[in-house]
Amino acid sequence: DTGVSQDPRHKITKRGQNVTFRCDPISEHNRLYWYRQTLGQGPEFLTYFQNEAQLEKSRLLSDRFSAERPKGSFSTLEIQRTEQGDSAMYLCASSPGTSGGARETQYFGPGTRLLVL
Amino acid sequence: GENVEQHPSTLSVQEGDSAVIKCTYSDSASNYFPWYKQELGKGPQLIIDIRSNVGEKKDQRIAVTLNKTAKHFSLHITETQPEDSAVYFCAASPSGGSYIPTFGRGTSLIVHP
């Protein structure tokens, strides 16, 4: 399968705990995006990378959230001191970006559903 | 920033009927408009997209139209089938830089057999 993959698919945690999610993009894509989706809403942008550089962060991304893409391949999203309001689906998407083709077209992974108790 | 409105929020049709979902956007700098289908428990799947230099695009039973002057675009699904039942999202994205899309709130399409 050459699509975007995410791990884990589901995560249940207690308030105050830290969680980390992983995203593996389509291999030739140099852009990687993180989104959050709550029930009845469309995906909301959190942050994106071009290769290993984090180029933009949304105001939704509080200081409890951090994302990395250390070698320009997979990315991790960590949430520290989780709160019940963090419960959502966390989606990752990748696009060719500046590497040609339909550079703005984003392909999503299956998401990680987080439940904070 | 960009604001995307999507209507209706729920659409119920009989199998074989057509379905139309409409979106409006606010930022005239947007020039890429993808549509995604999301099934329960899955990530959004790109089904069709259109760029601002094109007024209409068709792929089998799915078509998208774009009116840049009025800032609205629509998804048309003909000969609907029960497997078309899902939530559909429209989005508007700027031409350069980040390509960060703004999504509508989604339309839940229910196709009754």
DSSP chain A: --S-EEE-SEEEE-TT--EEEEEE--TT--EEEEEEE-TTS--EEEEEEETTEEEEE-TTS-TTEEEE-TTSS-EEEEE-S--GGG-EEEEEEEE-GGGSSSTT--EE---EEEEE-
**If pLDDT is split at 50, 70 and 90, which confidence band does A112 have?**
very high
Q: Does B98 touch chain A (CB under 8 A)?
A: yes
Q: Which residues of chain A have a CB within 8 Å of the CB of B101?
A: 45, 106
B34: amino acid identity, one letter: P
Please give the Cα distance from B94 to A18 (Å, whole number): 34
Q: Does residue A69 register a pLDDT over 60?
A: yes
Structure tokens at B22: 């409409």
Phi then psi dihedrals of residue A98, to 5 deg? -90, 5
Q: Which residue has the tokens 């339909």?
A: A102
Tens digit of pLDDT for each residue in A2-54? 799 999 999 999 999 999 999 999 998 999 999 999 998 999 999 999 999 99
Q: Give the mean pLDDT of A61-83.
A: 95
- Closest approach of A40 to chain B, Cα-based (Å): 7
Structure tokens at B41: 């428990």
Structure tokens at A6: 């995410």
Q: Does B49 touch chain A (CB under 8 A)?
A: yes
Q: Which residue of B has its CA nearest to A38?
A: B105
Per-residue pLDDT tens, chain B, 113 aa: give them.
889 999 999 999 999 999 999 999 999 989 999 999 999 989 999 999 998 888 899 999 999 999 999 999 999 999 999 999 999 999 999 877 788 999 999 999 999 99
The answer to whether the CB atoms of A106 and B105 lie below 8 A apart is no
What pLDDT is stored for residue B99 in this prediction? 85
The answer to whether the CB atoms of A42 and B100 lie below 8 A apart is no
Tens digit of pLDDT for each residue in A44-62? 999 999 999 999 999 888 9
User: Which of B32, B41, B44 lies closest to A43 in CB terms?
Assistant: B44
Interface test with B, best of A89, A106, A112, A115 (most B CBs within 10 A): A106
Q: Which residues of chain A have a CB within 8 Å of the CB of B41?
A: 113
